[in-house]
Amino acid sequence: MGFPGTWMTESESVVYRVVPKCACSTIGQIMFYSDHGRFFDGDIHDATDGMHKWAIEPSQPLIEQNVTSHKSYAFTVVRNPYTRILSSFFDKICGIQRNGKRYRGNLVPLLVQKYGVDVGGESGTEDFDQIQSFRRFLLFARDTIRWRRPMEPDIHWS
């Protein structure tokens, strides 16, 4: 069965189903704080201890047992779809990621070539028509969600 995208406090007091671009970093930090009395030093997505995550194999049986037995409070957070996809566009498409590279390697060049999306040049620092580029990105998102072309939908906007 599985519960991908699920986080749980070490104390098993709360279970959270992550929805990207819907306050997941803030919620993860609060969950970490509730068990440890301090915030995680860094990006909570990088935490490999101090919190159970489905992506961490030893955590999977604990999460599965907790969720299937309804042992603790479980929740998720959603966001206005427009503001969520707009946030995804600026963060994942226009922005440079923490590793200094573009999101998903060849995705931005594909958007530039096939959809005419502009992201402010190679460095992302040049001026560009953000409204026009966002509208073109919406066509791409529609195509991935509706027809799974030119790729499968991405979790950040589907």
Is residue 28 pLDDT above 80, yes or no? yes
pTM (global) more than 0.85: yes
Q: How far apart are CA 54 and CA 64, in angstroms?
A: 9
- Domain positions in the chain are 6-76, 81-147
Query: In a 3-state reduction of DSSP, which class is residue 15?
Result: strand
Chain segment 83-124, per-residue pLDDT in tens: 999 999 999 999 999 999 999 999 999 999 999 999 998 888
Task: Judge contact between 119 and 128, C-beta under 8 A.
Answer: yes
The reported pLDDT for the residue numbered 91 is 96
Task: Judge contact between 9 and 34, C-beta under 8 A.
Answer: yes
| Residue 132: DSSP 8-state | H
Read off the pLDDT of each residue in 143-148 and give the average, rounded to a whole number.
97
Q: Residue holding tokens 């566009």?
A: 89
Six token digits for residue 89: 């566009």
